[in-house]
Structure formats: C-alpha cells, structure tokens
Amino acid sequence: MIIRDKLENLNRHGDNWIARCPACASGGGDKQGQHLIIYEDGKYGCAAHSKDKEHRREIFRLVGQSTPLDPEQKRAFIRERIKRESKEIHRRKLETALQKKRASIITGYRWTEAEVLADSPSEPPQDPRLFIASLFPRSSVVWTGQKEHSGTWKDGRTFPHHWQTVDAWQHHQPQNVGPLTAPCTWPTGTMNRTAANVMTSPFVVLDFDGRNGIKPKTPEEIAAHIADSLAIIRWIREVMKWKLAAILHTGNISLHAWFHRPALAIVESVKAQSAILGIDAGLLTNPEHPCRLPGWTHQKSGVKSRTLWMQND
Ligand SMILES: [Zn+2]
C-alpha cells in the first residue's frame, strides 16, 4: 500500500486520491502535483507512465509499504508457495525426462516417408472428398472451407453451405472441398465453427509444426523435422497404443496425424508434453480448429498437401 503521509499535494477526488507522483518528482517532474492516482481499493498508478512497470516499482520503493500479513495468511501464503515450487520441480523433471525420451524415440522409431506410404493399410486418398469419406460416416455433417467461412460477416454474409454431409460433399468438384476441414461432426444447420456447436469429435489431430515454437526453415531443417515427426507418430501409435487414422503432409512444414480420440485424461497428458513432442496443442483439445485436406497447394511453399497414410474402417 501507499503511505499517503509521504505524498506531496495529496487531494481527495471522490473515492480516489490524487497527488504528486514521487517517481516523477524524483526527476523534478510532475510540478503540478497530479500524476499519481490512488484508487479506493489501494491500487495506484502514475497517469504519465501508466504502462511503465519500472515506474510503478519506483513509486512503491519511494512511498510504499508491504501490507503486514496475519499469521494465518502468512501460513497460507507459504503453503501456496511450496505447492507452486514442487509443481515446478516436477514439471522440470518431466521435461528433462521427455527431452531424453524424445531423442531415443527419434532414433528408435524411425519411419521414413517411403516406409509410411508402403505401410499404409488403405490407398492414401489424394482427393479431399475421399479423405473425409475415409474418415467420417456418409451421413455426418462435416465443415470444409477457408478459415473465415464461418459465422456472420459484417456485410451480413453467412456460410451454411460449408456444412454438408460427407455424401453431399462427394457431389462437389474437389477444388470446392477444402482447403481446410475440422476433425469433428456438426448438427444440421450449423453456421458457426465454434466449440459449443461441435456434435462429435471422433479424432484428435496432432499438428507437428515445429518444436518449442521454433519453425524449421532450411530444406535440411524441414526434412529433419518431418523425419522426427514421423518417428514420434510411430511411437505414439506403437507405444502409447493410440489408434492412427491418417497422416497428412500439409505441403509446407507440418504433418497432421489423425488419431481416433483416446480418453480425455490421456489427451491432457500429451497436451502437457506437446511442446517437447513438437505438437501444436491447440488442435488437441479444440476439435473445431481447422486442419488441412489433401490435394490443395500450400500458399507458402507452392507444394500440394498429400495423404501419406490412411486406414478406413
Ligand atoms: Zn510518475
């Protein structure tokens, strides 16, 4: 809290107080004596440096005082800190273990693109219509389109025709199916691609888009990233026993692995490790998020997205 006795030009303004900002004053500033505002609840700030954290700290250093805690508050505070610290230690241990594990996965579970294609139980469909038909029941309503084909635009446009049954999508030209879809089904008449509207989410799509937020750039980095990602996909399938449905190469730097959705707790445990595994966590628990269909040229690379692996059943 701020000790008001230490302030210059202190004046009451309704429920708040205004005074000369001691931090500004220390440099000869705020001659008018009206930069500092102290709110009813004790919060305070300098009107001339409202976004400057260092300035706030300087104010506190000059005229502030820590509010003394009563013994019970103090104990609760310590308990909370211990809990936080042990969580952090646990997280770090897990991270180190995972880094090691990742390295051994990548060497132990190598799965080259040629091997993946050869191992595919079904012919990998390169037509976006066949891709969704391989994964969803014919009567399911599936969304395809561009990211922005959802909701109501400012000009009043809506996009109900982007939600169609898998069957209906078969009657469109392939260039009108995609470039994106979402790994979920929707009730008839959906117009908004929101989590609340999702009817079923039979798949989890893991997006391998670079580790710890670092995107591979050079051709060598991209090749290594794809090789690492395929090894991790194989490991998730063979060791974690997730049921693989499809693998799609986006044509740029990412691989999308479609898995049949495991129990929520298992999804959460992978989400916690997603940065180390090189997975975009967003798609893990947000089935409404868009992912790519095959047969579309990626804008950044000019290369077509393609299915590497498919099991339809
Ligand atoms: Zn100030």
> pLDDT by residue (tens digit) across 234-269?
998 998 888 999 999 999 889 999 999 888 778 887
Q: What percent of the chain has pLDDT over 70?
A: 98
Is residue 98 in some structural domain?
no
Is residue 88 in some structural domain?
no
Where residue 163 sits, what CATH number does that domain have?
3.90.920
- Given a contact cutoff of 8 angstroms between Cβ atoms, the answer to whether 10 and 19 are in contact is yes
CA of 33 relative to ligand 1 center, distance in Å: 10
- Summarize pLDDT for 137-183 with one digit per residue, the tens: 999 999 999 999 999 999 999 999 999 999 999 999 999 999 999 99
> Are 149 and 266 in a shared domain?
yes
CA of 1 relative to ligand 1 center, distance in Å: 16
Mean pLDDT, rounded, for 49-75: 88
DSSP helix/strand/coil, 58? helix
CA of 50 relative to ligand 1 center, distance in Å: 8
DSSP letters for 189-236: T-----GGG--B--EEEEEE--GGGPPP-SHHHHHHHHHHHHHHHHHH
Residue 213: pLDDT over 70: no
Which of 26, 44, 63 marks a domain boundary?
Answer: 63
> Are 161 and 234 in a shared domain?
yes
CA of 267 relative to ligand 1 center, distance in Å: 48
Mean pLDDT, rounded, for 72-97: 86
Q: How confident is the model at residue 211 (pLDDT cuts 50, 70, 90)?
A: low
Is residue 80 in some structural domain?
no
Share the mean pLDDT of the chain. Answer: 91
CA of 58 relative to ligand 1 center, distance in Å: 9
Higher-confidence residue of 78 and 270: namely 78
Nearest residue to 124 (alpha-carbon basis) of 311, 310, 313: 310
Is residue 84 in some structural domain?
no
> Are 120 and 20 in a shared domain?
no
Is residue 75 in some structural domain?
no
> Are 121 and 224 in a shared domain?
yes
> Are 154 and 300 in a shared domain?
yes
Which of 39, 63, 87 marks a domain boundary?
Answer: 63
> Are 203 and 59 in a shared domain?
no
CA of 49 relative to ligand 1 center, distance in Å: 6
Report how far residue 301's alpha carbon sits from residue 111's, in angstroms, rounded to the nearest whole number: 23
Report how far residue 304's alpha carbon sits from residue 170's, in angstroms, rounded to the nearest whole number: 20
CA of 22 relative to ligand 1 center, distance in Å: 7
Range of the domain at 218: 113-310
> Are 47 and 172 in a shared domain?
no
Find all residues with CB under 8 Å of 82, minimum gap 6, and list them: none
Is residue 140 in some structural domain?
yes
CA of 88 relative to ligand 1 center, distance in Å: 36
Report how far residue 72's alpha carbon sits from residue 94's, in angstroms, rounded to the nearest whole number: 33
> Are 165 and 283 in a shared domain?
yes
pTM: 0.69
> Are 140 and 198 in a shared domain?
yes
Is residue 57 in some structural domain?
yes
> Are 32 and 144 in a shared domain?
no
* Beta pairing partners, 64: 2
> Are 149 and 218 in a shared domain?
yes
CA of 5 relative to ligand 1 center, distance in Å: 17
Which helix (H) or strand (E) is 55 found in, with range? helix 53-63
> Are 17 and 158 in a shared domain?
no
CA of 42 relative to ligand 1 center, distance in Å: 17
Q: What percent of the chain has pLDDT over 90?
A: 64
Q: How many domains does the chain have?
A: 2
- Given a contact cutoff of 8 angstroms between Cβ atoms, the answer to whether 4 and 10 are in contact is yes
Is residue 82 in some structural domain?
no
CA of 20 relative to ligand 1 center, distance in Å: 8
